[in-house]
Amino acid sequence: MLRRPLPISLRLTLWYGLTLLLLLSAFAVFCYTGFHLALHRDFDRHLTHEQRELLPFVTVDENGPRFEELGELTSVAYRSEGVYGTYVRLLTPDGEVRYQSPNFDGYPPLPVALPAEAVETSESITWNGLPARTRYVPLRTSGADTPLLGWLELTGFEWSLHQELHRLRFTLILGVLLSVAFALGAGWWLARRTLRPVSTMTEAAGRMGARDLSARLPADFGTRDELTELAETFNGLLDRLERSVERERRFTANAAHELLTPLATLRSEAEVALRRERAAPDYRDALGRLLLDVERMTATVQGLLQLARADALSKRPEDRLDLSALVEDRVGRARTHAAGRGVALHADVAPGIVISAQAPPLAEVVDNLLSNAVKYTPTGGRIDLRLDHGDRAALLTVSDTGAGFSGVEADRLFDRFYRSDDAAVQAEPGSGLGLSIVRAIVEGYGGHIEARSEGPGRGGLFVVRLPLDGDTR
């Protein structure tokens, strides 16, 4: 059975608390250790001060160390008892006690632990159940090269210092725990508040249905941050998806209509032909009408297949197409058709324009634009095609003196199965897929196409921009 993962807010809070605990613990250990060492240094300075006070009264000779005229010493720390006294002894090089201060009375013997080397040193010990610190000072007649003649031992209790350390340790531990507890509470509140928009968006997304694409994620959270940008970006995606689904719905309805109409005609023609026996010429006429309807459906299906292939186009870096040569070839093929309709076709093609594309789809673009221009330009009209360099793009324009269109229609011309209500346009055969295929191919190669016209009956202009050298701006 899979365990349900912890909520993000709880995980963030726990990680935040753990990180803070580690950081504060490390800081507390650093402070405690530093303070501990500082107390030891301060106590060593106290013992060193006592050492300087006592050394002038120490006499060292072959008979060993001894105190002389110690009664003149102004320092009384070595006479004090308890945790505030300094306990002084004179030791032979072997550790035999030659003298010990009077305040040793009533205390258990203090073990002698001479240093391994004859140098001044301090070490922490436990004496009479209390923490203490002992300092050993080597005694010689003169310089460090003379033989060791004894030791001056000074011992003092560190009980008060350790009391301070205990209080500091308790304060640090309490401070760390309270800080982490407060941080966990504040982190939990902050995480919940920060991630509340996520929960809101999750609930809103859960209420969205596959059939209702009008719902949107809430994007107003009182502040503008990354989550707001995420919600707005997702809503933009939903907008595009809704428009795409709506286009597909219209496309499906229009495709069904375009196919059902000739199918109904086919059925009607076949039923009429089969109602009674007819002569061979009558059957031949019926089959001819059926063939026309089949050709119409075939053209529609072919257009749908071309549109599907155009939607799946993608640029490949290795594709290189001489667009100038391609346009010259397609214009040459279209001139015969234009001349047959009594339309003049003029072309101005700049040489050497190369783009990243394949020839068949771009040939479809040029053919469709020229075919539309010839179809909707009356006898005696004129078509002008121009190919030139634009701003980092190949610029192809096709203009005519034909039927034209309104500004409202300009945006709908590239919709699938769209046919203008203009009588001249309705009179011409067509599936309404040509310009949809053109736009799909152009956009598939990272380009852009737009239609312009000054109004019905005043001609049209189609402008195609295709990026050069892989530029997809």
Helix (H, G, I), strand (E, B) or coil at 126: strand
Confidence of residue 426 (pLDDT cuts 50, 70, 90): very low
Mean pLDDT of 289-312: 66
Residue 233 Cα to chain centre, angstroms = 14
DSSP count for the chain of H helices, then E strands: 9, 14
136 pLDDT above the threshold of 90: yes
Q: 246-252 long-range contacts, Cβ below 8 Å, gap at least 24? A: 247/415, 247/416, 250/415, 250/416, 250/417, 251/416, 251/417
Q: DSSP of 33-64, one letter per residue? A: HHHHHHHHHHHHHHHHHHHHHHGGGEEEETTE
Please indicate whether residue 425 or residue 15 has the higher confidence score (pLDDT): 15
**pLDDT higher than 60, residue 125:** yes
**Mean of pLDDT values over 261-280:** 73
Say which range, 53-57, 138-142, 153-157, 307-311, has the weakest mean pLDDT: 307-311
Which of 121, 126, 122, 89 has its CA nearest to residue 105?
89
Torsion angle, CA of 293/298/299/300, rounded to 10 degrees?
90
Q: Please give the pLDDT value at position 73.
A: 63
Q: Is the pLDDT of residue 76 over 60?
A: no
**What is the pTM assigned to this prediction?**
0.48
Residue 101 confidence (pLDDT): 85
User: What confidence tens digit (pLDDT) does each residue in 210-229 have?
Assistant: 666 677 777 666 666 677 77
Check residue 3 and give its pLDDT: 64
Burial of 260 (0-12, 13-18, 19+ CB in 10 A): exposed
List of residues 6+ apart from 401 with CB closer than 8 A: 377, 381, 382, 383, 459
Q: Is the pLDDT of residue 232 over 90?
A: no
The yes-or-no verdict on residue 85 having pLDDT over 70 is yes
Cα 438 to Cα 466: distance, rounded to the nearest angstrom:
12
- Please tell me which residue, 434 or 376, carries the higher pLDDT value: 376
Q: According to the per-residue pLDDT averaged within each range, which of 144-153, 175-184, 263-272 is highest? A: 175-184
Residue 284 parent element (H or E)? helix 280-311
pLDDT for res 387: 93
pLDDT score at 316 = 63
pLDDT at 92 over 80: yes
pLDDT given at position 289: 74
Which of 32, 133, 162, 154 has its CA nearest to residue 90?
154
Which residue would you say has higher pLDDT here, 3 or 22?
Answer: 22
**pLDDT of the residue at 240:** 78
**Residues of the chain above pLDDT 70, percent:** 80
Q: Which residues pair with 86 in a beta bridge?
A: 156
- Given a contact cutoff of 8 angstroms between Cβ atoms, the answer to whether 9 and 191 are in contact is yes
Region 310-320: mean pLDDT is: 63
- Local confidence band at 78 (pLDDT 50, 70, 90 cut-offs): low
DSSP 185-244: HHHHHHHHHHHHHHHHHHHHHHH--SS---------SSS-SHHHHHHHHHHHHHHHHHHH
pLDDT at 327: 92
Tokens, residue 273: 């032909």
CA 252 to mean position of chain CA atoms:
38
| pLDDT reading at 317 higher than 90 | no
Average pLDDT of the chain to the nearest whole number? 80
Q: DSSP for 69-101?
A: SGGG----GGG--GGG-EEEEEE-TT--EEEE-
- Nearest-angstrom CA–CA distance, 250 and 432: 13
∠ CA 112-115-118, rounded to 5° = 125
